[in-house]
C-alpha cells in the first residue's frame, strides 16, 4: 500500500461526480466516456457530434492544464509493448461498445441511478480486471 | 451553443478530476486490481467520491421536469441484464487489466503524455468500430 493516495483520489472522484452532475443537470446526458466518444463516430447528427467533441476537448484540456501545473509522474513499464497496448485497446473499445459503457458510464453514472445493468456491468469488469491482473502477475509472471 | 459550452465545462472538470485522482497512471490502476500483490485501494476512493457526489446530485436533478438546456433527460432505455452486457463488460475488464487504461484516463492523458494513450485511444476506436460492424451484420 506504499502508493495509497486516499485524499487526492477522493477529491478527484468528487470532481468526476460534479462533472457528471453538471452534464445531467444542464444537458440531460450521462457522462460516459465510451458512449460519448462512440457518438462522435456513429451519431450522424451534427449537434450530437458537437457537444460530444466539446466534452472530449474539455477533458484533454482540463487534464493538460492540471498536469502542466502539477506534473504527473508515471513510472515507465517494461513489459507493456505496443502490441499489447493495441490488443488491450481494441478489447476495451469492443467490450465497452458491446457492454454499453465503461467505468464512467456504468461505474459512476449508472450506479448513482442504482441501475441493475450498471451495477452488474461494474461487478463484471472489476472481477474480469482482477482475474486478468492475477493471471498476468502470478501465472505469466510479468 | 449552451449545450456545447456546458459539455466543455463538464469535460474540463472531468479532465482535472481524473488527473488529480491518479487514474491516469496505469500502474496505479493495475495495482488497484492486484489485490494479492502490492494492492493500492485508492481507486475505491475515486469511485466512492464520484458515486456519492453523483448519487446525491442526481436525486435533486431528477426531481426537475427536464434539464436546463434540453427537453428531456437522455437515460439508457435498456433495463434487462443480457449476455451482451455481461460478455462486453468482461472483455472490457480483461483489456483494462492488461493495459491499465479505461476510456476516460486514456483520452485525458493524450494532452500531457501522449505516447501510450494515443495508441490506446486509436485502438479503442478501432475496437468500437469493429463491434459496430460485427453487430450490424448479424
Q: How many contiguous H segments (helices) and E segments (strands) does chain A have?
A: 6, 0
Look at A20 and B50 and tell me if their CB atoms are within 8 Å: yes
Which residue of A133, A134, A136 is the best one to mutate when testing the B interface, meaning the one whose CB has the most B CBs within 10 A? A133
Q: Which residues of B touch A17 (CB under 8 A)?
A: 49-54, 57
Phi-psi region of A141 (alpha: psi -120 to 50; beta: other; left: phi over 0): left
Length of chain B in terms of residues written: 138
What is the DSSP code string of B6-39? HHHHHHHHHHHHHHHHTTT-HHHHHHHH-TTSS-
Element (H, E) at B55: helix B42-61
Axis-axis angle for helices A6-22, B2-21 (nearest 10): 170
Per-residue model confidence as pLDDT tens digits over B7-40? 999 999 999 999 999 999 999 999 999 999 989 9
Query: Percent of chain A having pLDDT more than 90?
Result: 90
The mean pLDDT value for A23-45 works out to: 96
Cα B114 to Cα B106: distance, rounded to the nearest angstrom: 9
Look at A12 and B22 and tell me if their CB atoms are within 8 Å: yes
**pLDDT attached to residue B1:** 85
Asked if B92 and A92 touch (Cβ cutoff 8 Å), the reply is yes
- B137 has a pLDDT exceeding 70: no
Per-residue model confidence as pLDDT tens digits over A64-120? 999 999 999 999 998 899 999 999 999 999 999 999 999 999 999 999 999 999 999
Q: Helix, strand, or coil here: B80?
A: coil
Cα A74 to Cα B108: distance, rounded to the nearest angstrom: 14
Query: Percent of chain A having pLDDT more than 70?
Result: 98
Which residue of B2, B16, B108 is the best one to mutate when testing the A interface, meaning the one whose CB has the most A CBs within 10 A? B16
**pLDDT attached to residue B120:** 98
**Nine-digit cell at A25?**
443537470
pLDDT bracket for residue B81 (50, 70, 90)? very high
**A54, A59, A138 member nearest B15 (Cβ):** A59
- B64 has a pLDDT exceeding 80: yes
Cα B55 to Cα A2: distance, rounded to the nearest angstrom: 31
Dihedral angle computed from the Cα positions of residues A93, B48, A113 and A38, in that order, rounded to the nearest 10 degrees: -20
The mean pLDDT value for A113-140 works out to: 96
**pLDDT attached to residue A111:** 97
Asked if A33 and B107 touch (Cβ cutoff 8 Å), the reply is yes
Query: Percent of chain B having pLDDT more than 70?
Result: 99
**pLDDT attached to residue B55:** 98
The mean pLDDT value for B104-132 works out to: 97
pLDDT bracket for residue A2 (50, 70, 90)? low
- B68 has a pLDDT exceeding 60: yes
pLDDT bracket for residue A21 (50, 70, 90)? very high
- Work out the mean pLDDT of chain A and round it to a whole number: 95
Look at A75 and B27 and tell me if their CB atoms are within 8 Å: yes
Cα B118 to Cα B90: distance, rounded to the nearest angstrom: 23
Q: Which residues of B touch A37 (CB under 8 A)?
A: 103, 107, 124-125, 128
More confident residue, B37 or A19: A19
- Work out the mean pLDDT of chain B and round it to a whole number: 96
Predicted TM-score (pTM) of this structure: 0.96
- B138 has a pLDDT exceeding 80: no
Prediction ipTM score:
0.96
Look at B13 and A18 and tell me if their CB atoms are within 8 Å: yes
Amino acid at each position: 500500500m506504499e502508493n495509497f493516495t486516499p485524499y487526492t483520489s477522493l477529491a478527484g472522484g468528487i470532481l468526476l461526480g460534479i462533472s457528471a452532475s453538471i452534464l445531467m443537470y444542464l444537458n440531460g446526458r450521462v457522462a460516459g466516456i465510451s458512449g460519448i466518444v462512440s457518438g462522435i463516430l456513429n451519431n450522424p447528427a451534427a449537434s450530437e457530434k458537437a457537444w460530444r467533441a466539446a466534452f472530449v476537448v474539455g477533458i484533454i484540456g482540463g487534464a493538460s492544464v492540471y498536469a502542466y501545473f502539477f506534473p504527473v509522474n508515471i513510472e515507465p513499464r517494461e513489459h507493456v509493448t505496443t502490441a499489447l497496448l493495441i490488443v488491450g485497446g481494441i478489447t476495451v473499445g469492443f467490450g465497452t461498445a458491446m457492454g454499453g459503457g465503461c467505468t464512467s458510464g456504468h461505474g459512476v453514472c449508472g450506479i448513482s441511478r442504482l441501475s441493475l445493468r450498471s451495477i452488474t456491468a461494474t461487478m463484471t469488469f472489476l472481477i474480469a480486471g482482477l482475474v486478468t491482473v492475477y493471471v498476468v502477475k502470478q501465472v505469466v509472471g510479468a | 451553443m449552451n449545450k456545447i459550452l456546458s459539455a466543455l465545462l463538464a469535460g474540463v472538470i472531468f479532465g482535472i478530476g481524473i488527473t488529480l485522482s491518479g487514474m491516469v497512471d496505469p500502474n496505479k490502476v493495475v495495482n488497484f486490481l492486484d489485490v494479492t500483490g502490492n494492492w493500492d485501494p485508492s481507486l475505491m476512493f475515486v469511485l466512492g467520491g464520484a458515486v456519492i457526489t453523483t448519487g446525491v446530485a442526481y436525486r435533486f436533478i431528477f426531481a426537475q421536469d427536464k434539464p436546463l438546456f434540453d427537453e428531456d433527460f437522455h437515460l439508457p432505455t435498456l433495463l434487462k441484464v443480457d449476455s451482451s452486457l455481461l460478455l462486453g463488460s468482461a472483455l472490457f475488464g480483461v483489456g483494462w487489466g492488461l493495459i491499465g487504461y479505461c476510456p476516460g484516463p486514456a483520452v485525458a492523458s493524450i494532452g500531457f503524455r501522449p505516447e501510450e494513450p494515443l495508441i490506446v485511444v486509436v485502438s479503442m476506436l478501432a475496437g468500437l468500430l469493429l463491434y459496430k460492424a460485427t453487430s450490424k451484420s448479424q
